[in-house]
């Protein structure tokens, strides 16, 4: 996509949310030269973040790792649902990192590795001079992702590296229990790595992981033939963005194998999701409980998965829902100054995952100029001097903890994808051979 093509996408004006006490101003119009400046700043930020991640060896704290503290192994706290829920919320919300005092150590997450892997794959495709370096980092990520697989299931799958006490699930989630979100993020990175580099080995894991989704996750069916996959084995929560990650994986693997069971399952869960789209184009986080909010990154996840499903399943029957969803996203989750909003009705907290997903979703739907504008604001306001990214900015305080899974690795992936979109005029639809050999 050329700079001019990118500018042509700027036809939708976002609603602006005022944030008392927080400066959200930014550039209003980005000419060609400024887009080139954005490319240079993104490239430098990627180098700094890569160095930060290398120093940390991919490890980091997580917003939800409170239950990793040894004190929650004590009999009184091991099974107290409300105490565990409260601890998660307190530790997550504190802008002072008390984890070392609680005995919580940094961990390597499969999701962090997947985000970094996808970022390296995009850089491999556009930076021939650094291809050997990217290849080595890709190989390292692949090995470590493979080592973090959850065992004992029908296919490859991944979970989180800490215990998790959910409010709406019927049971606590122990460390390592696989779920559709982590598995979907990992397998998408594996699939993209093959697409962008031509490396074959990640595809075997994608094909294998589809069996986990098909065989090990609960399905809640509807009268129209749709269904929703549960979040993890035994779970029946109805979370549209989560089930769409299963649809994306099944469509991707269908494109490799031609197995119609995969396409049929993917189509049925897309049918469920589109049936629960609001008339204005938005999706609630969850169906059937009180989590009816509409937020940035879960909406972005869903839209990207729907776009990938449509492409690899060769099914455009849900395109109107995708268009309405994209129009709602573009109008609702960026201020006029290209600040990524958390909720559709409120700007704060300005969140690192929402920032990363904004860049990625805008690139998916061709708004590269908007993605670059957002990236410039994010680099100015969310990047730390050490190369990491802060967690959240609130109206009157900032949480500067650089969570690896939530903040730094997603931003590396998003910025690499943006650089790919800026530097490569052929866009993201090219074949692996074209990506690996741009002069061919």
Answer left, alpha or beta for residue 19, where phi above 0 means left and psi between -120 and 50 means alpha.
Answer: beta
Residues making up the chain, counted from first to last? 440
Asked if 283 contacts 341 with a C-beta cutoff of 8 angstroms, the reply is: no
Question: What is the predicted pLDDT for the residue at 33?
Answer: 76
Is a pLDDT exceeding 50 seen at residue 10?
A: no
Residue 426 has pLDDT above 70, yes or no: no
pLDDT of residue 425: 55
Strands laid side by side in the 392-393 sheet: 350-351, 392-393, 398-399
Neighbours of 209 (CB within 10 A): 29
pLDDT at 31: 60
Q: What is the dihedral of CA 267, 199, 134, 2, to 10 degrees?
A: -60
Task: Output helix, strand, coil percentages for the chain, rounded to the nearest 5.
Answer: 55, 5, 35
Question: What's the rounded Cα separation, in Å, for the pair 286 and 17?
Answer: 24
Q: What is the C-alpha separation between 195 and 172, in angstroms, rounded?
A: 37
Token pair belonging to 227 = 């269904």
Take residue 35 and report the two structure tokens written for it. 């887009």
Residue 311: predicted pLDDT:
98
More confident residue, 1 or 183: 183
Q: How far apart are CA 118 and CA 417, in angstroms?
A: 8
| Beta bridge pairs of residue 220 | 228
The DSSP letter of residue 282 is -
pLDDT tens readout for residues 18-77: 444 455 444 344 567 778 889 999 999 999 999 999 999 999 999 999 999 999 888 878
The verdict on whether omega for the bond into residue 217 sits within 30 degrees of 0, i.e. cis, is: no
Percent of the chain with pLDDT over 90: 82
At 432, the pLDDT band (50, 70, 90 cuts) reads: very low
pTM (2 d.p.): 0.91
User: Would you state the pLDDT for residue 408?
Assistant: 98
Q: What's the whole-number average pLDDT of the chain?
A: 90
Strands 227-229 and 350-351: unpaired
Q: Is the pLDDT of residue 308 over 70?
A: yes
Q: Are 285 and 346 in contact (CB under 8 A)?
A: no
Stronger pLDDT, 85 or 31, i.e. the higher one = 85
Distance separating alpha carbons of residues 229 and 241, to the nearest angstrom: 10
Instruction: List all residues 6 or more positions away from 68 whose beta carbon is below 8 Å from its beta carbon.
Output: 104, 105, 107, 162, 163, 175
Confidence class of residue 4 from pLDDT cuts 50, 70 and 90?
Answer: very low
Residue located via tokens 């009268």: 223
Condensed to tens digits (0 to 9), the pLDDT of residues 309-366 reads 999 999 999 999 999 999 999 999 999 999 999 999 999 999 999 999 999 999 999 9
* Closest by Cα among 309, 433, 434, 435 to 364: 309
**What are the tens digits of pLDDT across the range 121-171?**
999 999 999 999 999 999 999 999 999 999 999 999 999 999 988 877 667
Rounded Cα distance between 27 and 35, Å, is 11
CATH no. for 3-65+96-436? 1.50.10.20
Residues paired with residue 340 on neighbouring β-strands, in sequence order:
334
Rounded-to-integer distance, Cα 23 and Cα 26, Å: 9
Q: What is the pLDDT, as a whole number, of residue 259?
A: 98
Say how far apart CA 311 and CA 190 lie, in whole Å: 17
Residue in this structure with the two tokens 């962090």, named with its chain if needed: 112
Where do the structural domains in the chain lie, given as residue ranges?
Answer: 3-65+96-436, 66-95
Q: Which of these ranges, 29-38, 83-92, 250-259, has the smallest mean pLDDT?
A: 29-38
Cα 401 to chain centroid, rounded = 19
Q: Residue range 378-383: average pLDDT?
A: 98
Q: From residue 168, how far is each of 221, 273, 389 by CA, in Å? A: 19, 19, 30
Q: What is the pLDDT of residues 190-233, one digit of tens each?
A: 999 999 999 999 999 999 999 999 999 999 999 999 999 999 99
Alpha helices (H) along 127-259: 131-147, 180-197, 201-216, 240-257
The vertex-146 CA angle with 192 and 194, nearest 5°, equals 20
pLDDT the model gives residue 428? 45
Name the strand (E) or helix (H) holding 227. strand 227-229
- How large is the angle between the packed helices 240-257 and 296-313, nearest 10 degrees? 20
16-20, 261-265, 374-378, 408-412: range with lowest mean pLDDT: 16-20
Range 134-159 burial, b when 16+ CB lie within 10 A, else e: beebbebbbebbeebbbeebbbbbbb
- The 10s digit of each residue's pLDDT in 394-408 is 999 999 999 999 999
Structure tokens at 53: 């991640």
Residues 6+ apart with CB under 8 A from 69: 87, 99, 102, 103, 104
Whether omega for the bond prior to residue 349 falls within 30 degrees of 0, making it cis, is yes
Q: Are 190 and 206 in contact (CB under 8 A)?
A: yes
Q: In whole angstroms, give the CA distance from residue 440 to residue 436.
A: 9
Structure tokens at 312: 């690899």
Other beta carbons within 10 angstroms of residue 100's beta carbon come to: 10
Please, are residues 344 and 16 in contact by the beta-carbon 8 Å criterion?
Answer: no
pLDDT at 7 over 50: no
């Amino acid at each position: 996509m050329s700079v001019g093509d990118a500018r042509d996408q700027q036809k939708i004006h976002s609603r602006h949310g005022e944030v008392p006490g927080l400066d959200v101003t930014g550039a209003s119009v980005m000419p060609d030269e400024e887009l080139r400046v954005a490319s240079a700043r993104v490239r430098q930020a990627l180098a700094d973040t890569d160095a930060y991640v290398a120093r940390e060896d991919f490890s980091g704290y997580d917003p939800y790792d409170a239950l990793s503290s040894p004190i929650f192994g004590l009999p009184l706290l091991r099974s107290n649902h409300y105490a565990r829920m409260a601890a998660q919320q307190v530790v997550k919300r504190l802008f002072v990192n008390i984890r070392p005092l609680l005995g919580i150590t940094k961990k390597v997450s499969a999701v962090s590795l997947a985000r970094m892997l996808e970022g390296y794959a995009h850089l491999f495709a556009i930076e021939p001079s650094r291809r050997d370096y990217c290849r080595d980092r890709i190989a390292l990520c692949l090995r470590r992702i493979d080592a973090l697989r959850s065992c004992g299931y029908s296919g490859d799958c991944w979970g989180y590296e800490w215990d998790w006490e959910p409010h709406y699930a019927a049971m606590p989630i122990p460390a390592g229990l696989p779920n559709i979100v982590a598995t979907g993020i990992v397998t998408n990175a594996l699939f993209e790595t093959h697409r962008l580099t031509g490396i074959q080995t990640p595809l075997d894991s994608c094909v294998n992981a589809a069996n986990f989704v098909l065989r090990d996750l609960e399905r809640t069916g509807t009268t129209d033939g749709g269904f929703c996959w549960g979040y993890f084995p035994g779970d029946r929560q109805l979370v549209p963005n989560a089930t769409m990650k299963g649809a994306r994986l099944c469509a991707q693997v269908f494109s490799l194998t031609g197995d119609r069971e995969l396409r049929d399952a993917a189509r049925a869960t897309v049918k469920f999701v589109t049936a629960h789209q609001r008339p204005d184009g938005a999706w609630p986080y969850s169906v059937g409980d009180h989590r009816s909010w509409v937020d940035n990154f879960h909406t972005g996840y869903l839209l990207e998965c729907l776009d990938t499903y449509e492409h690899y399943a060769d099914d455009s029957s849900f395109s109107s829902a995708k268009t309405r969803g994209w129009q709602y996203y573009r109008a609702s989750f960026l201020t006029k100054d290209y600040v990524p909003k958390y909720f559709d009705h409120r700007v704060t907290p300005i969140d690192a995952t929402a920032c990363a997903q904004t860049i990625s979703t805008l690139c998916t739907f061709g708004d590269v100029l908007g993605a670059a504008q957002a990236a410039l604001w994010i680099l100015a306001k969310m990047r730390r001097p050490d190369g990491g990214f802060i967690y959240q900015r609130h109206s009157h305080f900032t949480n500067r903890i650089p969570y690896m899974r939530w903040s730094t690795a997603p931003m590396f992936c998003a910025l690499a994808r943006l650089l790919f979109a800026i530097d490569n005029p052929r866009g993201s639809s090219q074949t692996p051979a074209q990506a690996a050999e741009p002069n061919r």
